[in-house]
Structure 1
Amino acid sequence: MEVYFTIDKTAVAEFKDRGSKFLAFVFPVKNVEEVKNCLGEVKKEHPKATHHCYAYRLGTDGLQFRANDDGEPSGSAGKPILGQIDSKQLTDVLIVVVRYFGGTLLGVPGLINAYKLSASMVLQLVPVIQKNIESNYRLSFDYTIMNEVMTVVKQFNCTVVSQELQLFCEMVIGIPKASEELCMIKLKDIYGLEIGVARKGA
């Protein structure tokens, strides 16, 4: 796997069923901290809602995920929301569906359908983007070879994650997996450049 799919915009969709109103919010998120912040925002906006159900999937390997029913019958809300994220093979995505109860019980099949449709509708409003899976490296070098380093960084479409540019420079870059080998050869050719592996989030 050299690429992954995600989103970079937020959106809101509304779905109604037998008096109950469902508001679906979608957010691009990078970590659990961002998930908590987005969830907090929605709860602040809709304090009177009966339920705030959500699901997210994180990371290029997609191994970090959660589905929360927030008081709805088990498996009737979080799972159908997560199912919609997975059906589009997305990651780094959070969907929160807020429900205002309308007085009529929908039953478990009705709830599954409502949460699934709400999540599906909101995902249709945001474009899916393809991103390169990257390996992070820390570069340490003298300012005098800055141009040589940046030439390689641009040539291989690397992401500059962070940089400190003084007389002596430190930079963390993400190299696309597809061109990692070739890029590393070019970087190792630069005299005076030190390369180390950077931790995720470094």
Structure 2
Amino acid sequence: MSKDYPVPAGFLERETEIKKSRFIARVYPVASRDEVKELAALAHREFPDARHVCWAYQIGRPGSAAEAGMNDDGEPSGTAGKPILNVIQHKDLGDVLVIVIRYFGGIKLGAGGLVRAYAGAAESVLSAVDRKVQQSRLQVRVALGFADEQPLRHWCENSDGLVEQVDYGSGVSALVSLPEVAREPFAGFCEARGLDYRFEN
């Protein structure tokens, strides 16, 4: 079973107006709850006079997300964060945060109207955002000689690998991140050069 899943390709903003209330919907790719908190705090700072800054997110594979959460930010319980999260889950996207900023226009929408408004705002931005595939990655620990470091970096550059960390002692120890599909080619590269390697996940 493939571990790849769709994620937002980048940031996008869409604005809708419902009965004079403005709804500014934003989508962000996110990798952690800390990032979610930072972006929510940023939205509060950016729109200090907004009535509500509501959001929902899910991290990991859609359908079996590692983590998800939502915030109604003062709207009646279940009328903002939950509808946003429902749309995210319906769109089958992972590693995604949607923030909806509301400026109240003076006309109350009622609970059903709020649910429709927040879901509609989330739908407008999630339908428009480009997607990319998040490939699951492997971490590999490699022990190598100084002469092997450059060939290792060169191999990674050509294979979507990333040398995340290098420690120098009597030899060189490198931590490499690779797409799942590169497992066997990387093992072949290491064996051809006589390098010790260990997949960490």
Q: TM range, normalised to the smaller chain? A: 0.7 to 0.9
State the partner residue of 1:47: 48
Matched length: 197
TM-score, scaled to structure 2: 0.85
**Cα offset, 1:151, TM superposition:** 5.5
CA RMSD of aligned residues (A): 2.4
Whichever residue aligns with residue 165 of structure 2, its letter is: Q
State the partner residue of 1:127: 130
Of residues 79, 98, 101, the one that matches 1:98 is 101
State the partner residue of 2:11: 10
State the partner residue of 2:39: 38
Structure 1: unaligned runs, 5 residues or longer: none
Of residues 64, 68, 72, the one that matches 1:65 is 68
* Structure-2 separation of matches of 1:161 and 1:58: 24
8 A Cα contact 1:160 1:171, kept in partner: no
State the partner residue of 1:162: 164
* Structure-1 separation of matches of 2:42 and 2:173: 36
Range that drifts further, 117-126 or 9-18: 117-126
Structure 2: unaligned runs, 5 residues or longer: none
Secondary structure at 2:13 match in 1: strand
* Structure-1 separation of matches of 2:199 and 2:85: 37
Of residues 75, 83, 86, the one that matches 1:83 is 86
Range that drifts further, 19-28 or 160-169: 160-169
Secondary structure at 1:124 match in 2: helix
Could you list the per-position Cα deviations for residues 60-98 of structure 1 after superposition, in whole angstroms to 9, with x for gaps in the alignment?
Answer: 452211021112122211111112222221111111101
**Cα offset, 1:181, TM superposition:** 4.3
8 A Cα contact 2:142 2:195, kept in partner: no
State the partner residue of 1:177: 180
TM-score, scaled to structure 1: 0.84
8 A Cα contact 2:138 2:199, kept in partner: no
Whichever residue aligns with residue 119 of structure 1, its letter is: A
CA 1:84 to 1:173, structure 2 compared with 1: closer, same or farther past 3 Å?
farther
Range that drifts further, 92-101 or 130-139: 130-139
**Cα offset, 1:126, TM superposition:** 2.2
Whichever residue aligns with residue 69 of structure 2, its letter is: R
Whichever residue aligns with residue 45 of structure 1, its letter is: E
